[in-house]
Amino acid sequence: MNGVDGVKKERFVVWQVEEKKFSVLSLDSTSGKPKQYCVTYNGYRWLCNCPHYLKNCEDVNFACKHIIAVMQVLGTQTKVEKKVKRKEKNKERDESLSLQIFEQMKRDKETLREITIEEIEKAEKPVKVGVIADRVFEKIYGEPTTPDDWIRIWHVGNQVWYIVEDLAKEGLIDFDGLLIHKS
């Protein structure tokens, strides 16, 4: 998705996690730092856990850029694919790396769970899942420095999201879909 008339340019990677749940990795070309957000559809409206959405969520018609990115992928898949199309060599490398990281995450699920619980316990107030995911990533891999780290961040973020949902189902934390609250 490109900016217009002085608006900064961003690229989005949208991954469908479940039927009505999407992970959106936002790559800001100004700062170069990726941010991951969760976009869900609750049956009557789209929700996102980004600060812009949280600030404006009282307006039922509001859609942040992450929701718009998901809607574009769902409605005009071919147009979005053309905008983010990469050379096949890089795509294959990224897919291979992504598969390797995903397999590593499955093997290290208990470690990820322990670190996630530890980071939630350190939080003094309600905290976003993305903040916990960033802390977990930094604890495992350190500060992100390479493009490959963006793929790792995405996978860690997804795993942390699933862990948080599991912890909520187990009654260990309160989770409202956007914020983690201590029980």
111-164, pLDDT tens digit by residue?
888 888 898 888 877 888 888 888 888 888 888 777 677 767 777 887 888 888
pLDDT in tens, 8-38: 556 788 888 888 899 998 876 566 677 889 9
> Residue type for 117, please?
I
| Radius of gyration of the CA atoms of the chain, in A | 17
Spatial contact of 129 and 161, defined as CB atoms under 8 Å apart: yes
Q: Which residues 6+ apart lie within 8 Å of 133 measured at CB?
A: 36, 153, 156, 157, 160, 161
Q: Does pTM surpass 0.85? A: no
Of the pLDDT bands very low, low, confident and very high (cuts 50, 70, 90), residue 39 is very high
Of the pLDDT bands very low, low, confident and very high (cuts 50, 70, 90), residue 63 is confident
Distance, in Å, from the CA atom of 104 to the CA atom of 18, rounded to the nearest integer, reads 21
Residue with tokens 């008339």: 5
Q: Helices 88-107 & 147-169, crossing angle to 10 degrees?
A: 40
Q: How many other C-beta atoms can be found within 10 angstroms of the C-beta atom of residue 116?
A: 26
